[in-house]
Chain A
Amino acid sequence: MLRSKLTDEMVQFIQGAKDWEEAIRVASEPLLKQGYIEARYVEAIISNVKNFGPYIVLMPKVAMPHARPEDGVNQMGISLLLTEKSVSFDEEKAANIFFVLAADDESSHLDLLKEISEFLTNEEKVSALLSAKKYEDVIKLL
Chain B
Amino acid sequence: MKILAVCGNGLGTSFMLSLNVNKALKELGIDGECKNMDLASAKTESADYYIGSPEIMEQLNDGKKKVISVVNMVNLNEIKEVLRKQILEVK
Distance (whole angstroms) from the CB of A67 to the closest CB of chain B: 6
Q: Does A56 contact B (CB under 8 A)?
A: yes
Contact of B16 among A49, A52, A67, A117 (CB under 8 A): A117
Query: Complex Cα distance A72/B62, Å?
Result: 32
Taking CB atoms, residues of chain A closer than 8 Å to B20 are 117
Inter-chain contact B16/A55, CB cutoff 8 Å? no
Interface centre among A53, A54, A58 (most CB of B within 10 A): A58
| Number of A-B residue pairs with CB-CB distance less than 8 Å in the complex they form | 72
Contact of A103 among B11, B53, B56 (CB under 8 A): B11
Mask: chain B, 57-91; 1 = CB below 8 Å from A; 0 = not: 00100000000000111111000000000000000
Taking CB atoms, residues of chain B closer than 8 Å to A74 are none
Task: Give the interface SS of chain B, mostly helix, strand, loop or mixed.
Answer: mixed
Inter-chain contact B15/A113, CB cutoff 8 Å? yes
Taking CB atoms, residues of chain A closer than 8 Å to B32 are none
Contact of A53 among B11, B53, B75 (CB under 8 A): B53
Inter-chain contact A59/B73, CB cutoff 8 Å? yes
Q: Does A114 contact B (CB under 8 A)?
A: yes
Q: Which of A50-79 contact B (CB under 8 A)?
A: 51-60, 64, 66-68
Taking CB atoms, residues of chain A closer than 8 Å to B12 are 56, 64, 66, 101, 103, 109, 113
Q: Which residue of B lies closest to A120 (CB)?
A: B74
Inter-chain contact B15/A54, CB cutoff 8 Å? no
Query: Complex Cα distance A113/B15, Å?
Result: 8
Contact of B19 among A57, A59, A103, A114 (CB under 8 A): A114
Query: Complex Cα distance A74/B56, Å?
Result: 28
Q: Which residue of B lies closest to A89 (CB)?
A: B55
| CB contact under 8 A between A106 and B11, given known A53-B53, A55-B55, A59-B72 | yes
Query: Complex Cα distance A49/B13, Å?
Result: 12
